[in-house]
A and B are shown apart, each in its own frame.
Chain A
């Protein structure tokens, strides 16, 4: 009994000490932000007005040209005074965010507080709402969400407008004219294939229906809730006689795929691709490419951009209207939209939104260009088209494709 009491006391002491030690530094409260005006440096090139062209023009301009736009030093100071940036839903392997964040930290000396790296877009918006009165480290300053969430969050009054210095080089249909949200990168839906298990790599959507892929094809999410999965269905529509205004053929395609027994009802991730349980995974090309890097040859794998039905998905950045560190948030945006930030994303195989501009000025290193797959002909839906397709797909998935619920044994 004495031993036990002693042990409990020691444990209690340990707990109290740890709490005391870990609570030495209370979160710094955001000082009154000296609003640094967004400096709009005139763009030195004609802004691209359509979605980034994917053909690379010959690089004649010298690579030593000064980057478009410059960051106001007053902004940097104000941000450093705030000291921290709180991000959410930025996994390190997604678009090379790991390196992006580390570079930002070392370049400006700020801390970055990374919340829930695996949150979905809905979670990010909910986090802003829940933290409206909170100036603590749980409140996200900036969000990176699916395209449809930009306008909807703006409508709910959750965003703060800001135009980065390179604003004009962002294509018009990828940004809100008032600066509430702006596209950051895009990718194209592709097939990640474990070639050890399935050496016969499908080249297009219709190939997936072949019997040799029986029990091998999987989506990367639940089509009733996941952006990636819904857009996969939408993409299949394009290859199956549909269009950006008609996603129904996509549902029909997956119904056929399921009926043929080729569709595995699992949410594929890289572990499952590696074990061979879902050797063909439908996912964004940047995810597929970084997966291959992480496999390091075991298993051997390939990425295929389907021959038809090339579907581009855009994500958007925004600053929370309730951000505890607004200047740090603005500096973060400046960094992301600078050449450096955009190229870091490219390193993660994402197509940065300013790609056309970067290509024109020839600032993209050759080896980086060589790694990116050819995504010419990719189409990008508008928000209205996305919303319409989303409603169609989420409501009809169960009925059309038919979730196979086995009865109790």
Chain B
């Protein structure tokens, strides 16, 4: 097969995106995502340097905006997975639990005391566990009174009703389900005691938006969202 078009396409993509900068590694070269996937706007989404995708960069940009440098230095982080939504160096200490790897926490029942983490990051995890409700409850339980949790899952808001097939379908990237809009009220219920905001985070490279749920027991984080004028919607969890 002639590969000439492929080369031409790549060159074109790179030159067009030369001004875009990855907020994680400052990389400026981007390629199509696995399987040749392009962003919703048709741009090459994968940072060729740090391999980040739209959701990683959107999340990172949001957390960068919210980050209080001094305060974060006193925080303890629990991160599910190796994504780069936050940098470990921001925190006093951190624990990383890559779902499915040896020694990883079970997201549905984490062997840690209540309110033992100040920052919890769960990106694209709860759809991969058997009981996503338990996973949300655990995040809310582990979150300290001053902390902030970052929760995201694939394609939020794209469908109204959750579709749960009950097994990790390899054709669906190992997900048990795709969560629909109907999960939002459930989220409020499961994370009782926290305030939740659905925030539209923007990937500065592709400009694609990703919906992220921020959970907190400290209302000052919500105030910060307001003052930053982020596109946020409050899910009543009081």
A binds B: no
B interface residues with partner A (beta carbon < 8 Å): none
A interface residues with partner B (beta carbon < 8 Å): none
